[in-house]
């Protein structure tokens, strides 16, 4: 992760989870800079490793807002999302450890890609999800946004 900040161009910095700025599409970076100039942007903008140009905001981009909510700021796929989770596993262990199927890092990434549907692919059967179960049990809370209720059921097919 590194931070990109041009105080003449941006109100808040951009934290980018890639090796270098060259890993980001120019148009994606431009969208992130636009976000970094919004008066309600809080602290920083974040770009995840899979970031790429979206319609108005980078896909894989994160914006925390002060006193503002941006419905559907990015993505229309209920399965969109990524989390950065720091571990205590040194990167050289992941790169240098060989398994029967190859480098440990490649085995882990391969298992993730094989197990978790991405984009518009989904599981054939619903998956367990305590979060979605809770939403179903509190369905009356969502009456104001009734057009979104159908997505709760669809979520069981794309939980990662």
Give the model confidence (pLDDT) of 53-81 as tens digits.
Answer: 988 889 889 999 998 877 667 655 544 55
Instruction: Enter the tokens of residue 118.
Output: 């991405």
DSSP conformation class of 106: H
Residues 74 and 50: their CA atoms lie apart, in Å, by 14
Q: Name the 3-class secondary structure at 69.
A: coil
Alpha-carbon torsion (70, 77, 81, 158), positive or negative: positive
Residues 118 and 123: their CA atoms lie apart, in Å, by 10
Let me know: does 47 contact 32? Beta carbons within 8 Å. Answer: yes
Q: C-alpha distances in angstroms, 19 versus 103, 137, 158?
A: 20, 43, 29
Residues 137 and 131: their CA atoms lie apart, in Å, by 10
| Per-residue model confidence as pLDDT tens digits over 115-153 | 776 666 677 888 888 888 988 898 887 777 677 777 788
Question: Average pLDDT of the chain?
Answer: 85
- pTM equals 0.53
């Amino acid at each position: 992760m590194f931070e990109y900040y041009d105080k003449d161009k941006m109100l808040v910095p951009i934290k980018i989870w890639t090796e270098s700025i060259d890993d980001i599409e120019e148009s994606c970076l431009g969208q992130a800079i636009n976000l970094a100039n919004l008066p309600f942007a809080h602290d920083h903008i974040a770009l995840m490793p899979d970031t790429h140009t979206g319609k108005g905001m980078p896909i894989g981009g994160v914006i925390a807002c002060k006193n503002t909510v941006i419905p559907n700021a990015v993505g229309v796929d209920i399965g969109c999302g990524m989390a950065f989770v720091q571990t205590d596993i040194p990167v050289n262990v992941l790169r240098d450890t060989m398994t029967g199927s190859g480098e440990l890092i490649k085995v882990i990434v391969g298992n993730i890609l094989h197990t978790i549907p991405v984009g518009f692919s989904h599981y054939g059967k619903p998956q367990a999800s305590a979060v979605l179960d809770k939403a179903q049990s509190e369905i009356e809370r969502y009456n104001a946004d009734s057009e979104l209720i159908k997505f709760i059921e669809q979520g069981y097919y794309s939980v990662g």
